[in-house]
Amino acid sequence: MSDARWIEVDDELESACRHFDNAAKIYDEGGFDSPALAGYKMRMALLHAMQSAHTSLEAALKRILGILGEELPAGDQAHADLIRRVAKIVTAPGHERPAILPADVARDVDESRRFPHRAIHDYDNFEPERALPSIEAARRLAMSLRPAIASFREVVDPPRVKGP
């Protein structure tokens, strides 16, 4: 390993994958319309799991950009810009790199970013059926993020081969 900062990237990815996986399991369990506290707990658990997953993933992507020496997107569209950036091949003078995420994985990341807007009109009006595209993206992300980042890392920061 040539850059120890990948340790933190791996930790953030592990967190994101765990939260995406558990969000899908919470969705499958249902109970969002249960009366009183039980339904509230299920809604909040799903909302928090999806938010935590996407936040951890964004942190991993920002750490990768830091390793590469790239400035972070800023401004009102920073979250969407981050996803677009990591899905692009960069060919700037003195800095070239492949896309960090393949297009299909980037689409799922963007869907996870859209989750609050898709499923929630306000926190007291959660519509589980509208969340299904984001949940399906979460299922795929739980499985696809680690290999996608590992493939990228092998290109930009290959393991060092120890000589005899």
- Cross-strand partners of 95: 92
Q: What are phi and psi of 162, to 5 degrees?
A: -80, 130
Q: Indicate yes or no: pTM above 0.85.
A: yes
Tens-digit pLDDT profile for residues 42-101: 999 999 999 999 999 999 999 999 999 999 999 999 999 999 999 999 998 888 899 999
Q: Which helix (H) or strand (E) holds 92?
A: strand 90-92
* Mean pLDDT, range 134-141, rounded to an integer: 97
Give the residue from 94, 89, 106 showing the smallest Cα distance to 69. Answer: 94
pLDDT at 144 over 60: yes
